Structure 1
Amino acid sequence: MGLFSKDIASMQDLYVHQLQDVYYAEQQITKALPKMIEKATDTQLRQGFEQHLRETEGQIERLRRVFEIEGLQPKGVTCPAIDGIIKEADEVAGEVSDKAVLDAALTAAAQAVEHHEISRYGTLVTWAEQLGRSECAAILRETLEEEKATDAKLTELATAKLNARAGMVEA
Protein backbone atom coordinates (compact mmCIF):
# COMPACT_ATOMS: atom_id res chain seq x y z
CA MET A 1 0.00 0.00 0.00
CA GLY A 2 1.54 3.31 -1.02
CA LEU A 3 1.20 6.47 1.00
CA PHE A 4 -1.41 7.83 -1.39
CA SER A 5 -3.15 4.53 -1.89
CA LYS A 6 -6.91 4.33 -2.24
CA ASP A 7 -6.76 2.12 0.88
CA ILE A 8 -6.07 5.25 2.95
CA ALA A 9 -9.24 7.28 2.72
CA SER A 10 -9.42 8.76 6.21
CA MET A 11 -7.34 9.82 9.17
CA GLN A 12 -8.34 6.56 10.86
CA ASP A 13 -6.98 4.61 7.89
CA LEU A 14 -3.74 6.57 8.03
CA TYR A 15 -3.46 5.97 11.79
CA VAL A 16 -3.99 2.22 11.36
CA HIS A 17 -1.48 2.10 8.51
CA GLN A 18 1.08 3.83 10.73
CA LEU A 19 0.38 1.33 13.53
CA GLN A 20 0.97 -1.51 11.08
CA ASP A 21 4.14 0.17 9.84
CA VAL A 22 5.63 0.52 13.32
CA TYR A 23 4.50 -3.00 14.27
CA TYR A 24 6.49 -4.33 11.32
CA ALA A 25 9.44 -2.09 12.21
CA GLU A 26 9.55 -3.33 15.81
CA GLN A 27 9.56 -6.93 14.62
CA GLN A 28 12.45 -6.21 12.25
CA ILE A 29 14.33 -4.52 15.08
CA THR A 30 13.98 -7.65 17.25
CA LYS A 31 15.66 -9.57 14.43
CA ALA A 32 18.45 -7.01 13.99
CA LEU A 33 19.34 -6.42 17.65
CA PRO A 34 20.78 -9.90 18.33
CA LYS A 35 23.21 -9.36 15.45
CA MET A 36 24.18 -5.97 16.88
CA ILE A 37 24.64 -7.51 20.34
CA GLU A 38 26.92 -10.13 18.84
CA LYS A 39 29.04 -7.55 16.98
CA ALA A 40 29.32 -5.00 19.81
CA THR A 41 32.62 -5.22 21.69
CA ASP A 42 31.96 -2.56 24.34
CA THR A 43 30.28 -4.08 27.38
CA GLN A 44 28.01 -1.08 28.04
CA LEU A 45 26.92 -0.98 24.40
CA ARG A 46 26.18 -4.70 24.37
CA GLN A 47 24.20 -4.40 27.62
CA GLY A 48 22.29 -1.43 26.21
CA PHE A 49 21.37 -3.41 23.11
CA GLU A 50 20.27 -6.35 25.28
CA GLN A 51 18.09 -4.04 27.39
CA HIS A 52 16.59 -2.46 24.28
CA LEU A 53 15.79 -5.90 22.86
CA ARG A 54 13.76 -6.63 26.00
CA GLU A 55 12.11 -3.21 25.76
CA THR A 56 11.29 -3.78 22.09
CA GLU A 57 9.56 -7.04 22.95
CA GLY A 58 7.47 -5.10 25.48
CA GLN A 59 6.76 -2.42 22.88
CA ILE A 60 5.41 -5.07 20.53
CA GLU A 61 3.09 -6.23 23.32
CA ARG A 62 1.91 -2.65 23.81
CA LEU A 63 1.20 -2.35 20.09
CA ARG A 64 -0.83 -5.55 20.30
CA ARG A 65 -2.88 -3.93 23.08
CA VAL A 66 -3.46 -0.88 20.88
CA PHE A 67 -4.61 -3.11 18.01
CA GLU A 68 -6.93 -4.93 20.42
CA ILE A 69 -8.41 -1.66 21.70
CA GLU A 70 -8.95 -0.63 18.09
CA GLY A 71 -10.71 -3.94 17.42
CA LEU A 72 -8.04 -5.05 14.95
CA GLN A 73 -5.77 -8.03 14.56
CA PRO A 74 -2.08 -7.10 14.95
CA LYS A 75 -0.65 -6.94 11.46
CA GLY A 76 2.42 -5.34 9.96
CA VAL A 77 2.95 -3.67 6.63
CA THR A 78 6.37 -3.46 5.08
CA CYS A 79 8.25 -0.38 6.19
CA PRO A 80 10.88 0.46 3.57
CA ALA A 81 12.40 3.07 5.90
CA ILE A 82 13.31 0.62 8.67
CA ASP A 83 14.39 -1.98 6.12
CA GLY A 84 16.76 0.60 4.63
CA ILE A 85 18.13 1.70 8.00
CA ILE A 86 18.80 -1.90 9.03
CA LYS A 87 20.34 -2.76 5.66
CA GLU A 88 22.65 0.24 5.86
CA ALA A 89 23.67 -0.71 9.41
CA ASP A 90 24.49 -4.26 8.28
CA GLU A 91 26.55 -2.96 5.38
CA VAL A 92 28.50 -0.42 7.42
CA ALA A 93 29.15 -2.85 10.28
CA GLY A 94 30.32 -5.45 7.80
CA GLU A 95 32.90 -3.03 6.40
CA VAL A 96 34.48 -1.99 9.73
CA SER A 97 37.38 -4.09 10.94
CA ASP A 98 38.53 -1.96 13.90
CA LYS A 99 36.47 -2.88 16.97
CA ALA A 100 36.39 0.66 18.42
CA VAL A 101 35.19 2.09 15.12
CA LEU A 102 32.70 -0.77 14.81
CA ASP A 103 31.16 0.13 18.18
CA ALA A 104 30.84 3.77 17.08
CA ALA A 105 29.20 2.62 13.82
CA LEU A 106 26.79 0.33 15.68
CA THR A 107 25.86 3.18 18.00
CA ALA A 108 25.17 5.48 15.06
CA ALA A 109 23.05 2.79 13.40
CA ALA A 110 21.09 2.24 16.60
CA GLN A 111 20.43 5.97 16.85
CA ALA A 112 19.14 6.05 13.28
CA VAL A 113 16.66 3.35 14.30
CA GLU A 114 15.71 5.27 17.45
CA HIS A 115 15.15 8.50 15.53
CA HIS A 116 12.87 6.66 13.11
CA GLU A 117 10.89 5.20 15.99
CA ILE A 118 10.67 8.53 17.82
CA SER A 119 9.24 10.06 14.66
CA ARG A 120 6.69 7.29 14.19
CA TYR A 121 5.56 7.10 17.81
CA GLY A 122 5.37 10.88 18.13
CA THR A 123 3.06 10.98 15.13
CA LEU A 124 0.96 8.09 16.43
CA VAL A 125 0.50 9.73 19.84
CA THR A 126 -0.70 12.93 18.18
CA TRP A 127 -3.05 11.12 15.82
CA ALA A 128 -4.46 8.90 18.58
CA GLU A 129 -5.20 12.00 20.64
CA GLN A 130 -6.82 13.76 17.68
CA LEU A 131 -8.95 10.70 17.00
CA GLY A 132 -10.11 10.61 20.61
CA ARG A 133 -8.18 7.45 21.45
CA SER A 134 -6.73 8.64 24.76
CA GLU A 135 -6.05 5.10 26.04
CA CYS A 136 -4.11 4.26 22.89
CA ALA A 137 -2.27 7.59 23.05
CA ALA A 138 -1.14 6.82 26.61
CA ILE A 139 0.14 3.38 25.61
CA LEU A 140 1.97 4.79 22.59
CA ARG A 141 3.40 7.66 24.67
CA GLU A 142 4.95 5.11 27.05
CA THR A 143 6.85 3.61 24.13
CA LEU A 144 7.78 7.05 22.78
CA GLU A 145 9.36 7.91 26.14
CA GLU A 146 11.32 4.64 26.14
CA GLU A 147 12.62 5.39 22.65
CA LYS A 148 13.71 8.88 23.69
CA ALA A 149 15.46 7.46 26.78
CA THR A 150 17.29 4.89 24.67
CA ASP A 151 18.42 7.59 22.26
CA ALA A 152 19.69 9.69 25.19
CA LYS A 153 21.63 6.71 26.60
CA LEU A 154 23.19 6.05 23.20
CA THR A 155 24.17 9.70 22.86
CA GLU A 156 25.76 9.69 26.30
CA LEU A 157 27.67 6.48 25.61
CA ALA A 158 28.86 7.73 22.23
CA THR A 159 29.97 11.16 23.40
CA ALA A 160 31.46 10.07 26.73
CA LYS A 161 33.35 7.06 25.45
CA LEU A 162 32.82 5.32 22.14
CA ASN A 163 33.42 8.15 19.66
CA ALA A 164 36.62 9.25 21.45
CA ARG A 165 37.91 5.67 21.55
CA ALA A 166 37.19 5.25 17.82
CA GLY A 167 38.86 8.59 17.04
CA MET A 168 42.08 7.51 18.67
CA VAL A 169 42.60 4.71 16.18
CA GLU A 170 45.45 5.33 13.78
CA ALA A 171 44.96 4.71 10.09
Structure 2
Amino acid sequence: MPNNIRVMDGRINLSNSTLTEAEIECIPVFETYFLTSLQKMYEAENQIAIAFNQIKDSVTSPELQKVFDNHYSIHEKHLQRIEKIFKFLQVEAKGVSCDAVNAILKEGQSYIRNMSGNTVNIEVALMLTSQKLTHYKIGAYAGLAYLAIRLSYTDAATFLAISVQEEEEYADNKLRYVIEEFLSLIAKGKKQ
Protein backbone atom coordinates (compact mmCIF):
# COMPACT_ATOMS: atom_id res chain seq x y z
CA MET A 1 0.00 0.00 0.00
CA PRO A 2 1.31 3.53 -0.76
CA ASN A 3 2.52 5.54 2.23
CA ASN A 4 -0.42 7.95 2.18
CA ILE A 5 -3.00 5.15 2.55
CA ARG A 6 -3.93 3.87 6.03
CA VAL A 7 -6.65 1.50 7.22
CA MET A 8 -8.69 2.92 10.12
CA ASP A 9 -11.85 1.30 11.52
CA GLY A 10 -12.37 -0.83 8.43
CA ARG A 11 -12.04 2.18 6.11
CA ILE A 12 -9.05 3.27 4.16
CA ASN A 13 -7.70 6.76 4.73
CA LEU A 14 -6.02 8.35 1.71
CA SER A 15 -4.26 11.52 2.94
CA ASN A 16 -7.13 13.60 4.31
CA SER A 17 -9.90 11.66 2.56
CA THR A 18 -11.44 8.55 4.08
CA LEU A 19 -12.38 5.94 1.46
CA THR A 20 -13.81 2.46 1.57
CA GLU A 21 -11.79 -0.43 0.17
CA ALA A 22 -14.13 -0.50 -2.85
CA GLU A 23 -13.45 3.19 -3.45
CA ILE A 24 -9.69 2.58 -3.19
CA GLU A 25 -10.02 -0.03 -5.93
CA CYS A 26 -11.65 2.65 -8.08
CA ILE A 27 -8.84 5.18 -7.66
CA PRO A 28 -7.13 4.33 -10.97
CA VAL A 29 -10.52 4.72 -12.69
CA PHE A 30 -11.17 7.99 -10.83
CA GLU A 31 -7.73 9.31 -11.76
CA THR A 32 -8.19 8.39 -15.41
CA TYR A 33 -11.66 9.93 -15.51
CA PHE A 34 -10.42 13.04 -13.68
CA LEU A 35 -7.51 13.56 -16.06
CA THR A 36 -9.59 12.91 -19.18
CA SER A 37 -12.34 15.25 -17.97
CA LEU A 38 -9.76 17.91 -17.13
CA GLN A 39 -8.27 17.57 -20.62
CA LYS A 40 -11.77 17.92 -22.09
CA MET A 41 -12.41 21.09 -20.12
CA TYR A 42 -9.03 22.46 -21.17
CA GLU A 43 -9.93 21.87 -24.82
CA ALA A 44 -13.45 23.19 -24.23
CA GLU A 45 -12.14 26.44 -22.77
CA ASN A 46 -9.79 26.83 -25.74
CA GLN A 47 -12.64 26.18 -28.20
CA ILE A 48 -14.82 28.70 -26.37
CA ALA A 49 -12.05 31.31 -26.73
CA ILE A 50 -11.88 30.70 -30.48
CA ALA A 51 -15.67 30.93 -30.77
CA PHE A 52 -15.76 34.11 -28.70
CA ASN A 53 -13.24 35.77 -30.98
CA GLN A 54 -15.32 34.75 -34.00
CA ILE A 55 -18.61 36.13 -32.67
CA LYS A 56 -17.57 39.21 -30.72
CA ASP A 57 -18.17 41.48 -33.73
CA SER A 58 -21.72 40.11 -34.06
CA VAL A 59 -22.71 41.70 -30.75
CA THR A 60 -24.06 45.23 -31.13
CA SER A 61 -25.60 45.67 -27.68
CA PRO A 62 -23.07 47.41 -25.39
CA GLU A 63 -24.61 45.74 -22.31
CA LEU A 64 -24.33 42.28 -23.87
CA GLN A 65 -20.77 42.99 -25.04
CA LYS A 66 -19.86 43.98 -21.49
CA VAL A 67 -21.34 40.73 -20.13
CA PHE A 68 -19.50 38.63 -22.72
CA ASP A 69 -16.23 40.47 -22.07
CA ASN A 70 -16.68 39.77 -18.36
CA HIS A 71 -17.27 36.10 -19.08
CA TYR A 72 -14.21 35.99 -21.31
CA SER A 73 -12.04 37.27 -18.44
CA ILE A 74 -13.53 34.54 -16.21
CA HIS A 75 -12.78 32.00 -18.92
CA GLU A 76 -9.12 33.09 -19.00
CA LYS A 77 -8.89 32.45 -15.24
CA HIS A 78 -10.33 28.97 -15.76
CA LEU A 79 -7.66 28.17 -18.32
CA GLN A 80 -4.92 29.39 -15.96
CA ARG A 81 -6.30 27.25 -13.14
CA ILE A 82 -6.52 24.16 -15.33
CA GLU A 83 -2.90 24.69 -16.38
CA LYS A 84 -1.90 24.93 -12.70
CA ILE A 85 -3.74 21.68 -11.98
CA PHE A 86 -1.87 19.95 -14.80
CA LYS A 87 1.34 21.29 -13.27
CA PHE A 88 0.37 19.96 -9.80
CA LEU A 89 -0.30 16.58 -11.37
CA GLN A 90 2.96 16.78 -13.31
CA VAL A 91 1.05 16.14 -16.53
CA GLU A 92 1.40 17.98 -19.82
CA ALA A 93 -1.39 20.49 -20.35
CA LYS A 94 -3.16 19.20 -23.43
CA GLY A 95 -6.72 19.06 -24.57
CA VAL A 96 -8.99 16.25 -25.62
CA SER A 97 -12.08 16.96 -27.70
CA CYS A 98 -15.16 17.77 -25.60
CA ASP A 99 -18.17 16.59 -27.58
CA ALA A 100 -20.69 18.39 -25.38
CA VAL A 101 -19.11 21.83 -25.74
CA ASN A 102 -18.43 21.25 -29.42
CA ALA A 103 -22.14 20.47 -29.92
CA ILE A 104 -23.26 23.60 -28.06
CA LEU A 105 -20.83 25.78 -30.04
CA LYS A 106 -21.91 24.17 -33.32
CA GLU A 107 -25.55 24.84 -32.47
CA GLY A 108 -24.75 28.49 -31.70
CA GLN A 109 -22.82 28.89 -34.96
CA SER A 110 -25.75 27.37 -36.84
CA TYR A 111 -28.14 29.92 -35.32
CA ILE A 112 -25.84 32.77 -36.32
CA ARG A 113 -25.60 31.48 -39.90
CA ASN A 114 -29.35 30.95 -40.20
CA MET A 115 -30.18 34.35 -38.73
CA SER A 116 -27.70 36.30 -40.81
CA GLY A 117 -28.69 39.95 -40.88
CA ASN A 118 -31.09 39.75 -37.93
CA THR A 119 -29.05 41.26 -35.10
CA VAL A 120 -31.69 40.82 -32.40
CA ASN A 121 -32.14 37.11 -33.09
CA ILE A 122 -28.38 36.59 -33.33
CA GLU A 123 -27.90 38.25 -29.94
CA VAL A 124 -30.67 36.15 -28.37
CA ALA A 125 -29.04 33.02 -29.81
CA LEU A 126 -25.65 34.11 -28.42
CA MET A 127 -27.11 34.72 -24.96
CA LEU A 128 -28.84 31.35 -24.86
CA THR A 129 -25.75 29.58 -26.19
CA SER A 130 -23.71 31.30 -23.49
CA GLN A 131 -26.24 30.14 -20.91
CA LYS A 132 -25.98 26.52 -22.13
CA LEU A 133 -22.18 26.66 -22.01
CA THR A 134 -22.27 28.15 -18.52
CA HIS A 135 -24.52 25.43 -17.16
CA TYR A 136 -22.44 22.71 -18.78
CA LYS A 137 -19.28 24.20 -17.26
CA ILE A 138 -20.90 24.39 -13.81
CA GLY A 139 -21.69 20.68 -13.97
CA ALA A 140 -18.31 19.72 -15.40
CA TYR A 141 -16.26 21.73 -12.91
CA ALA A 142 -18.42 20.57 -9.98
CA GLY A 143 -17.90 16.95 -11.01
CA LEU A 144 -14.17 17.50 -11.35
CA ALA A 145 -14.04 19.21 -7.94
CA TYR A 146 -15.81 16.22 -6.37
CA LEU A 147 -13.35 13.80 -7.94
CA ALA A 148 -10.43 15.98 -6.87
CA ILE A 149 -11.68 15.82 -3.29
CA ARG A 150 -12.02 12.03 -3.45
CA LEU A 151 -8.51 11.79 -4.89
CA SER A 152 -7.10 14.18 -2.25
CA TYR A 153 -6.09 16.74 -4.88
CA THR A 154 -6.86 19.56 -2.47
CA ASP A 155 -5.45 22.42 -4.53
CA ALA A 156 -7.19 21.16 -7.66
CA ALA A 157 -10.48 20.85 -5.78
CA THR A 158 -10.15 24.43 -4.56
CA PHE A 159 -9.40 25.78 -8.04
CA LEU A 160 -12.28 23.84 -9.56
CA ALA A 161 -14.70 24.97 -6.85
CA ILE A 162 -13.71 28.58 -7.57
CA SER A 163 -14.49 28.00 -11.25
CA VAL A 164 -17.92 26.62 -10.33
CA GLN A 165 -18.60 29.65 -8.15
CA GLU A 166 -17.53 32.08 -10.89
CA GLU A 167 -19.77 30.40 -13.46
CA GLU A 168 -22.72 30.37 -11.05
CA GLU A 169 -22.22 34.06 -10.26
CA TYR A 170 -21.94 34.87 -13.97
CA ALA A 171 -25.16 32.97 -14.71
CA ASP A 172 -27.09 34.44 -11.77
CA ASN A 173 -25.77 38.00 -11.62
CA LYS A 174 -24.81 38.89 -15.17
CA LEU A 175 -26.24 36.65 -17.86
CA ARG A 176 -29.71 36.12 -16.38
CA TYR A 177 -30.11 39.87 -15.90
CA VAL A 178 -29.10 40.77 -19.45
CA ILE A 179 -31.29 38.01 -20.95
CA GLU A 180 -34.32 39.18 -18.95
CA GLU A 181 -33.67 42.82 -19.82
CA PHE A 182 -33.07 42.06 -23.50
CA LEU A 183 -36.20 39.90 -23.84
CA SER A 184 -38.25 42.50 -21.98
CA LEU A 185 -37.18 45.18 -24.48
CA ILE A 186 -38.09 42.90 -27.37
CA ALA A 187 -41.51 42.20 -25.84
CA LYS A 188 -42.10 45.97 -25.44
CA GLY A 189 -41.07 46.51 -29.07
CA LYS A 190 -38.05 48.65 -28.15
CA LYS A 191 -35.47 46.24 -29.58
CA GLN A 192 -35.65 45.25 -33.25
Normalised to the residue count of structure 1, the TM-score between the two structures is 0.88
Q: Which structure is larger by alpha-carbon Rg, 1 or 2? A: 2
Within the candidate set 79, 85, 91, 1:72 is matched to 91
5 Å-filtered alignment, 1:100-139, equals: 100-139=120-159
| Residue identity (%) | 23
Once the two structures are superposed, residues 52-78 of structure 1 have per-residue CA deviations (whole angstroms, 9 ceiling, x without a partner) of 222212211110000111111111101
Name the aligned partner's letter for residue 155 of structure 1: R
- The answer to whether structure 1 residue 19 and structure 2 residue 38 are counterparts is yes
1:170–1:121: structure 2 CA closer, same or farther, 3 Å change rule? closer
The residue that corresponds to 1:158 in the other structure is 179
Shift of 1:170: 10
Higher strand proportion: 2
Runs of 4+ in 1 over 3 A off after TM superposition: 166-171
Once the two structures are superposed, residues 128-156 of structure 1 have per-residue CA deviations (whole angstroms, 9 ceiling, x without a partner) of 01111111100111111111112121111
8 Å contact kept, 2:141–2:160: yes
Within the candidate set 83, 101, 108, 1:82 is matched to 101
- The answer to whether structure 1 residue 47 and structure 2 residue 102 are counterparts is no
Normalised to the residue count of structure 2, the TM-score between the two structures is 0.79
8 Å contact kept, 2:127–2:175: yes
Name the aligned partner's letter for residue 37 of structure 1: K
Shift of 1:36: 2.7
Q: d(CA) in 2 for partners of 1:22 and 1:10?
A: 18
The residue that corresponds to 2:81 in the other structure is 62
1:51–1:35: structure 2 CA closer, same or farther, 3 Å change rule? same
Q: d(CA) in 2 for partners of 1:83 and 1:42?
A: 26
Name the aligned partner's letter for residue 43 of structure 1: P
